[in-house]
Structure 1
Amino acid sequence: MFARATTIEAQLSAIDAGIAYVRDEVLPVVTEIPGCIGLSLLVDRQSGRCIATTAWESERAMRESEGEVGVIRDRASYEVFRGRARIEEWEIAVMHRDHRSRPGAWVRVAWGRVDPARMDATVANYSHRAIPAIQQLEGFCSASLLVDRAAGRGVSTETFDSSLAMERTRQVSDAMRDDNTMETGVEVLDIGEFELALAHLRVPELI
């Protein structure tokens, strides 16, 4: 399984229009492309950072979709969200879902890097150590780990039923992340918290 993430630095006043456009125009088209297994949209209404992610059955399907998706992406990014876009492609290494997200869900995202030679160990640590701990947190919904093995980069997500649940788990989550990064040698580059504006990913359990 693979994913393409488009990070848009949107104009704050354009975020609601952007959500509506992705929901009403982008989602129906993209999910009809062969190999697509869904789309999600995260938004930060304070900074304007929005992340639209499409998931794909294979790397080949993701690559072959680029032409069609690129046209849609450009219109969404520049004309609707009125912002700059950055594209990243990932392997979906881990996906664990306790239950489907509900309206009002929020997502904590952490970006990091590690020696590529330690990537397999890092993925194993996330699957067998981090996931069992994360899923005990209040309001836990799902967690995932996306990786770029060659570059030694990764991004983890933790989805919670509400912003309150995410806030209450912040300190514990930070402490667990610190423990895991010390063990694996991961350098945390950035952490963000986002409203889950659209949740239509159909990625199966990968753990």
Structure 2
Amino acid sequence: MFVRTGYFTGDPARLGRTLDGFSAEAVGLLSGEHGYRGYGLFANRELGVFTMGSWWDTAQAERDSDAKLGARRGELLAPFAGTAAVDVWEAAAFAPPGEGGPGARFRLIRAEFDPASADRLVAAFREQALPNLERMDGFVGGALLIQRDRGRASVGTIFQDEATFAASRSPQAEARSRVTAEVGVTVRSLEEFEVVLLDRRPPR
């Protein structure tokens, strides 16, 4: 599975309209493309930041969809985005999201690792981090995305509401410390967002 992510910053006063545009159009556009498996839209309205990710069966399906839909993405972003970063990742380990619902929250961690340690990182996340997450109250879904050749990782976790999200901070920090120490990972950022939209599609 492959994931295309976008990370965008701009004027907070213009963010709401842009989120409305993506909420209205994104799933309809993406779901018509071969290999589409899901989409998430997440925002920090106060700072004027939002991020999104679309999930694809294959690298070719991701590339084809981007070639077809990239121009429309740019049109929707134009009134808001001052900066834009788009990346493609391997979905190395994940628990497919359930229903987020109103009030769901998303935590995003960016990290770096030695490319030679990629398999160790994936194993540690799959065997240690994911089981711990799945035992936490309110856990909706989580994923480890990696760029093996560049030694970059992105970890996203979703919880069903503000209360369970807040309660997850300490146990997730403890689990993160264990995995990063074991594998030799450097965490570069940690951010939190509201869940604006989640869409999940079963395999065809």
Same structural fold, with TM-score higher than 0.5 when normalized by the shorter chain: yes
2:105 paired residue number? 106
Distance 1:99 1:39, change over 3 A: closer
Deviations 1:21-76 (A, max 9, x none): 01212321122122222221010112211012111110011112222221011112
1:27 paired residue number? 27
Matched, 1:73 2:73: yes
Tell me the number of residue pairs that the alignment of Structure 1 and Structure 2 aligns.
203
Report if the CA contact (8 A) 1:144-1:156 is conserved: yes
Distance 1:138 1:156, change over 3 A: same
Provide the TM-score with structure 2 as the length reference. Answer: 0.93
Rounded Cα–Cα distance in structure 1 between residues aligned with 2:97 and 2:194: 19
**Residue type matched to 1:121 in 2?**
R
SS at match of 2:78: helix
Deviations 1:126-160 (A, max 9, x none): 00011111122221111111111111111111110
Percent identical? 27
Which residues of 2 match residues 168-179 of structure 1 at below 5 A? 168-179=167-178
Which residues of 2 match residues 180-199 of structure 1 at below 5 A? 180-199=179-198
**Residue type matched to 1:12 in 2?**
P
Considering only aligned residues, what root-mean-square deviation do their CA atoms show, in Å?
Answer: 1.6
Report if the CA contact (8 A) 2:97-2:200 is conserved: no
Q: Which runs of 5+ in 2 are unaligned?
A: none
Bigger drift between 10-19 and 55-64 goes to 10-19
Q: Which runs of 5+ in 1 are unaligned?
A: none
1:13 paired residue number? 13
Rounded Cα–Cα distance in structure 2 between residues aligned with 1:158 and 1:10: 24
Deviations 1:102-139 (A, max 9, x none): 22110111111100010011001000011111122221
Rounded Cα–Cα distance in structure 1 between residues aligned with 2:135 and 2:155: 17
**Residue type matched to 2:93 in 1?**
V
**Residue type matched to 1:112 in 2?**
A
Rounded Cα–Cα distance in structure 1 between residues aligned with 2:124 and 2:64: 32
2:63 paired residue number? 63
Rounded Cα–Cα distance in structure 1 between residues aligned with 2:97 and 2:33: 28
Distance 1:62 1:77, change over 3 A: same
Rounded Cα–Cα distance in structure 2 between residues aligned with 1:91 and 1:202: 18
**Residue type matched to 2:127 in 1?**
H
**Residue type matched to 2:6 in 1?**
T
Rounded Cα–Cα distance in structure 2 between residues aligned with 1:197 and 1:127: 27
Report if the CA contact (8 A) 1:92-1:147 is conserved: yes
**Residue type matched to 1:77 in 2?**
L
Distance 1:150 1:124, change over 3 A: same
Provide the TM-score with structure 1 as the length reference. Answer: 0.92
2:149 paired residue number? 150
Rounded Cα–Cα distance in structure 1 between residues aligned with 2:201 and 2:106: 17
Aligned structure 1 segments of 4 or more residues deviating by more than 4 angstroms: none
Rounded Cα–Cα distance in structure 1 between residues aligned with 2:24 and 2:97: 28
SS at match of 2:136: coil
1:15 CA displacement: 2.0
2:121 paired residue number? 122
